[in-house]
């Protein structure tokens, strides 16, 4: 496990974007596993900035996103498909045919999860997986108690995650979908590199627990301690307890 200390959110974003752009420069046709949420937005902005300056080229990159709400069509502004297009894909030269997310509109969970695992397999696996971390230690939508050996699966979101995500649904908890398709921990652990970004004092406690506590399904991110190429980039506040 490598820990990179950043001063603040901007610095964290730049350091994470540096690692991602190094990956793309070294392997232009790489597979990037991407995350939504508030934390990586600055990382995407930095990558867009470098793309605009001609420093990084995404034309051969394939992406696989971690998760998607079950039941939300792509066009819904709160879908992760929309989030990724608004915050990243629409601003760089990524080939739309190489963008992959779970399909929230396929309500046949078994079929959709199988399809998505095949997508990841068929693109040759993930070169670099970007992650955020939930206050309860979730990664993707793998909530506490999630089995480490799962591939893509359908989850019932915990109340805490529903609450945390309501800010994206006009603050209305009733509008937040209650299920999601997520890559499993097994899939995440099979990524050749994992990069987790964290910022703010609110993440300090879980960062300490996940990366300096026991490896347990009760703290899903703790499994990353066992990953052979795991990098945590955090700002001073998120890393304040370690
Ligand atoms: C996002 C995802 C989630 C978030 C986590 C942290 O695709 O799967 O696990 O990474 O909830 O979210 P933020 O960054 O908003 O604190």
**CA 139 to ligand 1 center in whole angstroms:** 7
Would you give the DSSP letter of residue 143? -
Quick one: CA torsion of 1, 124, 148, 233, rounded to 10 degrees?
30
- Predicted pLDDT at 158: 82
- Predicted pLDDT at 157: 86
- pLDDT at 113 exceeding the cut of 80: yes
> Nearest CA to 194 among 231, 140, 142, 234?
231
Instruction: Categorize the per-residue pLDDT at 74 as very low, low, confident or very high, splitting at 50, 70 and 90.
Output: very high
Q: Is 36 in the pocket of ligand 1 (CB under 6 A)?
A: yes
Q: Probe ligand 1: pick from 102, 134, 157, max atoms within 8 Å of CB?
A: 134
CA pair distance 21, 58, nearest whole angstrom: 9
**CA 122 to ligand 1 center in whole angstroms:** 26
In b/e form, how buried is each residue of 217-228, taking b as 16+ CB within 10 angstroms?
bebbbbbbeebe
pLDDT tens-digit profile of 177-235? 999 999 999 999 999 999 999 999 999 999 999 999 999 999 999 999 999 999 999 99
Helices (H), the chain: 9-26, 41-52, 80-87, 109-122, 159-165, 185-190, 204-212
pTM, to two decimals: 0.95
Q: Probe ligand 1: pick from 40, 102, 133, max atoms within 8 Å of CB?
A: 133
Q: Is 34 in the pocket of ligand 1 (CB under 6 A)?
A: no
Is 143 among the residues known to form the active site? Answer: yes
**CA 164 to ligand 1 center in whole angstroms:** 9
């Amino acid at each position: 496990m490598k820990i990179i200390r950043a001063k603040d959110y901007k610095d964290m974003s730049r350091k994470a974007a540096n690692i991602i752009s190094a990956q793309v420069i070294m392997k232009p046709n790489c597979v990037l596993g991407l995350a939504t949420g508030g934390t990586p937005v600055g990382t995407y902005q930095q990558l867009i900035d470098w793309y605009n300056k001609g420093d990084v080229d995404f034309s051969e990159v394939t992406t696989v996103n971690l998760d998607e709400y079950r039941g939300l069509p792509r066009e819904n502004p709160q879908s992760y498909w929309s989030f990724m297009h608004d915050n990243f894909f629409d601003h760089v030269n990524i080939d739309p045919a190489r963008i992959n997310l779970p399909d929230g509109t396929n309500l046949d969970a078994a079929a959709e999860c199988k399809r998505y695992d095949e997508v990841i397999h068929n693109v040759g696996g993930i070169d670099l997986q970007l992650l955020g971390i939930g206050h309860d230690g979730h990664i993707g939508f793998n909530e506490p108690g999630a089995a480490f050996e799962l591939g893509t699966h359908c989850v019932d979101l915990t109340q805490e995650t529903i609450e945390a995500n309501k800010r994206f649904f006009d603050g209305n908890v009733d509008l937040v979908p209650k299920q999601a398709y997520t890559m499993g921990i097994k899939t995440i652990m099979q990524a050749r590199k994992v990069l987790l970004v964290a910022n703010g004092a609110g993440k300090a406690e879980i960062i300490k627990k996940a990366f300096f506590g026991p490896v347990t399904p009760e703290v899903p991110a703790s499994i990353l301690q066992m990953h052979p190429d795991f990098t945590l980039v955090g700002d001073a506040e998120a890393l304040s307890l370690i």
